[in-house]
Structure 1
């Protein structure tokens, strides 16, 4: 059977007319797009199309009469790689077969990727008369490649975060643990000779250090809950002005009255419908930064206002401000500004604030003050009531 088929095909190929009919049938019915153009001109506007098969029409959305006489450049668009087109032109000028990937555009303007094999065709005298391009759509493959690259990039970022996390937590915990150990040893060996005030000072140091470590652990756990989708808003009605006054009073009590504080309310409604815990997380981290990065005696102002459907909190300080190169990475985990110097910190606060705001559909914006300091504007969507 195989021998009979081979003999029949051989006889067909010996007949020029039959061979031509066979090749025409292959081209017309091929699943891959086939385009035939004149060999020249290679410069603009380019060689004209003389034939396209049905697969080309299915791929691009064009009918044959819409492309015959035009050039393949009608398939190119703003995102077509110019470097790839330059390589293609070089191959054409050298009359060399080439294999290339291009981003093309369908008739409806949508993008699609193709892998194109292009070969020149010569006549009996050896003159090149046409180009034949066989094109296969590779959009799905390119999409999978992009998704794979994105996954690999995410894995690299996670690996870097894990390494950074181990390094950061080792350093951030080692320092307070050393302070606790030192204070405890001082109390053990010298406490009996100290005054009551000296002993209380060492105990306060231990308490403050433990509180700092506990806060860092709470921050890490909160980020874990947010990333796992276990943290959800639980809004309720409350007075935001009273809430902020109490929060600032807590800061003054815990951290001393080293700064001048002001809470200003320009609210038109007394109560709002928000999640108090998420609001506390956001404001606590922002207030902590304001205290940490501004000098003793400087002013810290928290102003409240509202507009239909939104409540705004504007925090201003007179601290070290922000460097322009830091703005794109302010909410990255463990990232700290270029100008923080030796001021201690974990680089978690703004990442936590941003996640809490995202959970509530809130917004945050930083502005550098004209003279010194930073202004932070945060907005929460809120139903309001008198």
Structure 2
């Protein structure tokens, strides 16, 4: 047999031998006793039943099943041939007397498994156990083969059996295909048996994948591949092919089995998903570029406006008003209106500048163009820096800002500037929605994380808004009568920064009692 030997062959672990069910049809009581004695002396694991006639045998075979049937050819009410239609595939061993060999051979041609010649010394009994074992093993092997063939023919996946050789062109010929293969490809058995699988290849069949399969054949190793095949009508389809070598008990490869599954629908879905992803990335990049361009175009004139307003406001307050002689209430009212308008222009310009900065920051983060720093950061210092920058605003509003962190140091690797931006966003957000009481923050160690918490005594957040609180342009003030002004981007930016640091951020709140914003960052980031 041709084929190459491979190492590492798996062997089946057999269960302990069970008793074989044996039916003996023998009308000679001495021969029955001889059989019983053989079973006892040799310790044979037979669960056997003995009958003396064709009639008894037929009655037993109608209600019972056996692994093997042993029958004397000549019986009192007939011959062994009379029970063959009731064996139901069970192997039949015929025992003949001297001179009946030709009849026994005819019986074998009719379906009997074996025959033995009964001698006067009953020496045939010494060979009978071997014949029984072979018959049972042959029967079980045939049964397993039928089950396997039935399973293969009815499998949903295409199954192809290839010869072991040759390894060179044109390749291994097909020995077997199941019904699923015919349904998948359109080729009937007689159109593919004896040919190679090259018949399935076409212009879009990937040559690199074919080379991978060829190397699997050469190295005698299982191979998995996804490749485009072609049906009989010329239409392409995707298959996932698993090819494995099968070896005999000596470890020699005797054939290959390929199991193929049609994955065309999956590939089409994957292609559609990839196109959608590409379109989304392209749209996101276009959006980011648009926002960046628009923001840049707005920033330049806005910077000029802010500068002019700032200078005008300063000169008006420091030069014009002190030297102005207010002659009437109308003039005084007008002066106050101009001053108020300048204040509004300055505040709105600052707010618009903050909005543009936030839009640019978010656009850069989403586009992946932020140049993140990787430096040692101490989170107590981060929050202290943010609180110092906001302390004047807290004082002017008459609410407290305090730390409950203590003196413990909390170090990690990250972008200090970005984390200060997060702390500033959370503290200023708390300031915005707190009119009485104040804001406190604390930093603690939680297992392998550092947890930062900002808690206020403000108005709180409605429960239905907590889920979407970190969405872009989502403002808590939208639900309130008195709406604090903001960009609606601070929390979105904070979430993206924390996400970049492999952390998590969330909010907790009770309406009317205050809110907590908490984020966790891994210590070994």
**TM-score (norm: length of structure 1):** 0.52
2:498 equivalent to 1:357: yes
Q: Does the 8 A contact of 1:176 with 1:213 survive in 2?
A: no
Between the aligned partners of 2:342 and 2:447, the Cα distance in structure 1 is 50
Mind listing any 5+ residue stretches in structure 1 that lack a counterpart?
Answer: 1-48, 68-134
Correspondence for 2:489: 348
In structure 2, do the counterparts of structure 1 residues 255 and 168 end up closer, same or farther at CA, with 3 Å as the change threshold? farther
Q: Does the 8 A contact of 2:295 with 2:359 survive in 1?
A: no
In structure 2, do the counterparts of structure 1 residues 170 and 293 end up closer, same or farther at CA, with 3 Å as the change threshold? farther
1:138 to 243, 262, 265: 265
In structure 2, do the counterparts of structure 1 residues 169 and 237 end up closer, same or farther at CA, with 3 Å as the change threshold? closer
2:423 equivalent to 1:283: yes
In structure 2, do the counterparts of structure 1 residues 214 and 167 end up closer, same or farther at CA, with 3 Å as the change threshold? closer
Between the aligned partners of 2:289 and 2:394, the Cα distance in structure 1 is 32
Correspondence for 1:28: none
Correspondence for 1:331: 470
Between the aligned partners of 2:322 and 2:452, the Cα distance in structure 1 is 46
SS in structure 2 of the partner of residue 364 of structure 1 = strand
Deviations 1:98-140 (A, max 9, x none): xxxxxxxxxxxxxxxxxxxxxxxxxxxxxxxxxxxxx884210
**TM-score (norm: length of structure 2):** 0.40
Between the aligned partners of 1:330 and 1:173, the Cα distance in structure 2 is 31
Higher RCO (Cα < 8 Å, 6 or more apart): 1
SS in structure 2 of the partner of residue 273 of structure 1 = strand
2:318 equivalent to 1:318: no
Correspondence for 2:434: 294
Q: Does the 8 A contact of 1:362 with 1:381 survive in 2?
A: yes
SS in structure 1 of the partner of residue 475 of structure 2 = coil
Mind listing any 5+ residue stretches in structure 2 that lack a counterpart?
Answer: 1-150, 161-175, 181-261, 325-335
SS in structure 2 of the partner of residue 236 of structure 1 = strand
SS in structure 1 of the partner of residue 445 of structure 2 = strand
In structure 2, do the counterparts of structure 1 residues 359 and 195 end up closer, same or farther at CA, with 3 Å as the change threshold? same
2:402 equivalent to 1:262: yes
Q: Does the 8 A contact of 1:261 with 1:301 survive in 2?
A: yes
Q: Does the 8 A contact of 1:183 with 1:206 survive in 2?
A: no
Q: Does the 8 A contact of 1:366 with 1:376 survive in 2?
A: yes
2:363 equivalent to 1:224: yes
Question: How far apart are 1:213 and its partner, in Å?
Answer: 4.0
SS in structure 2 of the partner of residue 265 of structure 1 = coil
1:169-184 equivalence runs, <5 A: none
Q: Does the 8 A contact of 2:425 with 2:491 survive in 1?
A: yes
Larger Rg: 2
1:303 to 428, 442, 446: 442
Q: Does the 8 A contact of 2:400 with 2:438 survive in 1?
A: yes
